[in-house]
Amino acid sequence: MSNDLKTRLKIAKTKFKNKNPSDKNNEKSSFGKAFQLSTELVSAVLVATIIGFILDNWFDTKPWLIIIFFFIGVAAGIINVIRSAKKMQKE
């Protein structure tokens, strides 16, 4: 009986090992990764533009700060994307 269990365990373990090169798992996480990258790019632009808008209202410099901060936001977004892409490659 115990012998039977052992062989069955062995079979199950080898099956598990063969399955382990996780194709499905990879696919799952790449969907999440794609979405993560896109939101990171957009959110940095959004935050920077809002900051520019507020500062413009403060200093009465419409529309210069909003334009400047928009481009800074784009830069920040690209840096965000590069960073998280690097982090993903490490994994």
Partner 1 sequence: MAANPMTQFNVYRIGPEIKIGEIDISFTNASLFMVISTITILLIFNFGAKKNSIIPNKLQLLGELSYSFISKMISDTAGSKAKPYFSFIFSLFMFVLFCNMLGMIPYTFTVTSHIIVTFVLAAFIFVGVTIIGFIKHGFGYLKLFVPSGVPIVLLPLIVIIEIISYLSRPISLSVRLFANMMAGHTMMKVFGGFVVSLGIVGGWLPLSFSVALTGLEILVAFLQAYVFAILTCIYLNDALNLHH
Contact positions vs partner 1 (CB under 8 A): 28-29, 31-32, 35-36, 39-40, 42-44, 46-48, 51, 69, 72-73, 75-77, 79-80, 87
d(CA 51, CA 44): 11
Neighbours of 4 (CB within 10 A): 8
Nearest distance in Å: CB 8, partner 1: 17
Nearest distance in Å: CB 29, partner 1: 8
**In terms of CB distance, is 6 or 71 closer to partner 1?**
71
Q: How far is CA 51 from the centre of its chain?
A: 24
